[in-house]
Amino acid sequence: MRAILLLLDGLRPDLVTPARMPHLAALAARGTRFANARSVFPSETRVATSSLVTGSRPAAHGLTANTIFAAHLAPERLLKTNSVADLLVLADGAPYPLQRPGLGEILAAAGRSLAVVSAGSPGQAFLAHPLAGPLGAFRWNAADTEGAAARLVATRFGPTPPAAIPNLPRLRLATRVLFEHVLPDLRPDIALFWCPEPDVSFHYRGLDAAETRTALAAADALVGQALDWRAAQPDAAEIALLVLSDHGHVSGDRKLDLAAELSRGGFAAGHGLAPGIDIVVAPAAAPGLWLRDPALAPAVAEFLAAQSWAGPLLARDPALLPGALPLATLDAAHPRSADLTLCFAGTEAADHWGLPGRAPFDAPDVPEGGGMHGGLHRRELATLLIAEGGPFRRAATVRAACDLTDVAPTLLHLLGLPAPGMQGRILAEAWDAGAEAPPVPADIALPGGFTLEAVRQGGRFYPTGLSASR
C-alpha cells in the first residue's frame, strides 16, 4: 500500500456539498467518512501540522501555538511559526522544535519515504518533515528559493508565481510538482500535499464570497485530479487517498486588540516583554497571555469575566487560577504554553453569509467578517477526514471520534510499521466495522456558564466544541 494525503487547509466539512465540491462530495459518499473528526487545541495550522505528523498533541510535541512567546530566547518579540527562522530560534540549538519524531523520520528508519509538497507557509512545510534534507527526502514549499528541491522545481516547472487571494497560481504549480514529479518519479510510500485553500480565501474574503467559491472549486479539482491520476496507475487498488483538513473556521464578527483591551483595563500589556510590560499577548483566535508576575492571574481573570466578548480561560498551571480549565485536559500544557489562554465567546448564530458560527478574534491582518480559527468553537474544531481505496471500507460513515493525531499511527499500522512516540489511536473502524464503538459523552462545566463539549473514545479525550448558557 501507498497513500496520498491531500490536506485542504481550513476546510469546514459542512461546506463539502455536491454544488460546491462535487468530486469531494462523491468521494465522501463512496469512501470512509469520519463524521466526528476534529482538530487539536489550539486549532491552528502549525499546531495541527505538528500533531498530524507526530501523532501526538501539543503537550508532547511542544509546538503549542502559531505564535509563541519565549522569554529566554526572544524576550522583545513574539515568535511566528510560519517562519523557519523563528522555528529554529524556538528549537534553541536543536535541528527543529518538535519533541517527538515525525512521520518522515519513522518511515525513513524503516527504509520507507514521506514526500511533502506545500503551497502553505514555509514554517508549515518545515514542520511536516523537518529532517527531509538530512534524510534525502523531498520537501518543497512554494516560497522556497534555496535547496535541491527548490532548484529542481524552478528548473523543471519555472519560477514560483507571487502569492494571491485566492492562492490559485501557487496551487497550480504545487499540483504540477505533485503529479508530474513526486508521484511518478519518486513514488513515496506517503505523499503529503498541503493545499492553501480554502484557508487563505476564508480569512481574507469570507466563508462564502465569490473568490472563496472559486477557491473551493480549485481544491475540489485537485481531488478530481488525484482520482484520475490514481485510476491510471497499475497499482491503483493499493493506493489509498485521504482527504482531510487541519481545522475549520468561524466568521470573525468582532475584531479586537486584546493587548489594548487589557491596557484599558489597567494592565500593562504588549507583544514583547519590554520594560514596564507585565502581560505579553500573542494575538490569535485563542490568544496566549504570558504574565511577568503570576499573581496577576486572578485580576486578569476578573477583568475578562466582565467582558461580553470573553469566553473561558485555560491555565497551563492549574494552581495559577483555580477553577480555570487546565490546558492539560486538552493535552496542550507544555513549558512553551502561555500561562493563560483565552477562548472568545462565540455562538452558533448565522454569519452574514447565512452560515452558522461566529466569534470575536484578535488578528491584526484579518479583516472583520473574515474567517478565523484557533479556539474551541465547534466550527473551528470540526475537520474533514475521508479515506478511500486500499483497505478502507466503501460507503461507510464512521461515528467514532478521532482527531489529527490518529492519522499517522493508522497509516503506519497499515504499512506494518510501529509508531514510536505517537499517542494517537489506530482507526481500525476504517476497515473493520466491528471495531467501531460509540463515543462516550464527557462534557465539562466551566466558569461563566460555559461548557466544554467532549467525548471519550478508545481511552482518549476529544473536545468537540464550546457552548454557553449565558
**Backbone φ and ψ of 55, nearest 5°:** 60, 30
Residue 135 in grid coordinates: 534524510
* Backbone conformation region of residue 144, classed left if phi is above 0, alpha if psi is from -120 to 50, else beta: beta
DSSP track, 191-216:
EEEEE-TTHHHHHHH-TT-HHHHHHH
The number of angstroms, rounded, from the C-alpha of 101 to the middle of its chain's C-alpha atoms is 18
Residue 94 in grid coordinates: 536543536
User: What is the edge-to-edge ordering of all strands in the sheet holding 2-8?
Assistant: 139-141, 114-118, 190-195, 2-8, 239-244, 385-388, 32-38, 396-403
User: What DSSP designation does 13 have?
Assistant: G
For the chain, counts of helices (H) and of strands (E) = 15, 24
Of the pLDDT bands very low, low, confident and very high (cuts 50, 70, 90), residue 55 is very high
Whether the CB-CB separation of 276 and 41 falls below 8 Å is answered with: no
**Can you give the pLDDT at residue 174?**
99
Q: Kindly report, residue by residue over 420-443, the tens digit of the pLDDT.
A: 999 999 999 999 999 999 999 999
Residues in CB range of 221: below 8 A, 6 or more apart = 23
What does the alpha-carbon distance between residue 51 and residue 408 come to, in Å, rounded to a whole number?
A: 9
**Backbone φ and ψ of 132, nearest 5°:** -55, -45
Dump strand ranges (E) for 112-238.
114-118, 139-141, 190-195
**Beta-bridge mates of residue 340:** 289, 315
Residue 38 in grid coordinates: 476534529
Residue 404 in grid coordinates: 489529527
The answer on pLDDT for 359 being more than 90 is: yes
DSSP track, 264-284:
HTT--EESS--TT--EEEE-S
The answer on pLDDT for 275 being more than 90 is: yes
The average pLDDT across 289-304 equals 98
Residue 163 in grid coordinates: 502569492
For residue 48, the surrounding DSSP H or E stretch is: helix 45-54
* Backbone conformation region of residue 336, classed left if phi is above 0, alpha if psi is from -120 to 50, else beta: alpha
What is the residue extent of each domain of the chain?
2-250+378-435, 252-366
Whether the CB-CB separation of 291 and 339 falls below 8 Å is answered with: yes
**Can you give the pLDDT at residue 224?**
99
What does the alpha-carbon distance between residue 244 and residue 6 come to, in Å, rounded to a whole number?
A: 6
Q: What is the percent of the chain with per-residue pLDDT over 70, rounded to a whole number? A: 100
Instruction: Provide the greatest CA pair distance for the chain.
Output: 68
The number of CA neighbours under 13 Å toward the Cβ of 458 is 17
Q: Kindly report, residue by residue over 136-177, the tens digit of the pLDDT.
A: 999 999 999 999 999 999 999 999 999 999 999 999 999 999
The average pLDDT across 68-89 equals 99
Architecture of the domain delimited by 2-250+378-435:
3-Layer(aba) Sandwich (3.40)
Cα dist from 357 to 67, 248, 253, 360, 363, whole Å? 24, 10, 9, 11, 17
The answer on pLDDT for 470 being more than 80 is: no
The average pLDDT across 234-251 equals 99
Whether the CB-CB separation of 115 and 192 falls below 8 Å is answered with: yes
Handedness of CA 240, 241, 246, 248 (dihedral sign): negative
**Can you give the pLDDT at residue 469?**
74
Q: What is the percent of the chain with per-residue pLDDT over 90, rounded to a whole number? A: 99
What does the alpha-carbon distance between residue 437 and residue 421 come to, in Å, rounded to a whole number?
A: 25
User: What DSSP designation does 294 have?
Assistant: G
User: What DSSP designation does 424 have?
Assistant: P
- Residue 99 DSSP SS3: coil
CA-closest candidate to residue 23, choices 197, 218, 234? 218
Please state which of the four CATH numbers 3.30.1360, 2.10.25, 3.30.40, 3.30.70 is assigned to the domain occupying 252-366.
3.30.1360
For residue 122, the surrounding DSSP H or E stretch is: helix 122-128
What does the alpha-carbon distance between residue 232 and residue 318 come to, in Å, rounded to a whole number?
A: 55
The average pLDDT across 387-397 equals 99
Cβ neighbours of 15 (radius 10 Å): 21
Please tell me the total number of residues recorded for the chain in this structure: 470
